[in-house]
Structure formats: C-alpha cells, structure tokens
Amino acid sequence: MARKFPAAENRTVKGIFVCKRCKSKQRTSATKVVLRAVKCRGCGSREFRALRKIKTAK
C-alpha cells in the first residue's frame, strides 16, 4: 500500500527497514521489501518492517 503517499513515506522512513527477527537495519527500497527480494544478512529472513521510531517533534 505504498501508493498513497510515496513522497511522505520516503521522508519518514528514508529507505531503512528493520528485520523482524533479529532487528538488524538494512537499506533498501520499499518495493523490494514488498516483493521479498531482500534478505537479511544476519538471519536470512525476508520479513522486514519500515523504521518508524523517529520522533517528529518539530
């Protein structure tokens, strides 16, 4: 569902995704994550989530 606000997603996530298993960060594009073309270096898992723990105080 990255169709709605692609520009906004790029700004918040910045192409960084976190492995759901070992929580290691990896730089990829959202489309690759959706298509499962990305493998985690640590555990080899293909389940990633977007990094969204940045505070937007300003």
List interacting residues with Zn ion (CB under 5 A). Answer: 19, 21-22, 40, 42-43, 45
Whichever of 9 and 47 has its CB closer to Zn ion, that residue is 47
Task: State in angstroms the smallest separation of the CB of 12 from Zn ion.
Answer: 22
- Taking the mean position of all CA atoms in its chain, how far away is CA 28? 7
Q: How far apart are CA 10 and CA 27, in angstroms?
A: 12
Q: CB nearer to Zn ion: give 38 or 40.
A: 40
Please, what is the minimum distance in Å from the beta carbon of residue 25 to Zn ion? Answer: 10
Name the residue among 16, 12, 32, 15 with its Cα closest to residue 24.
16
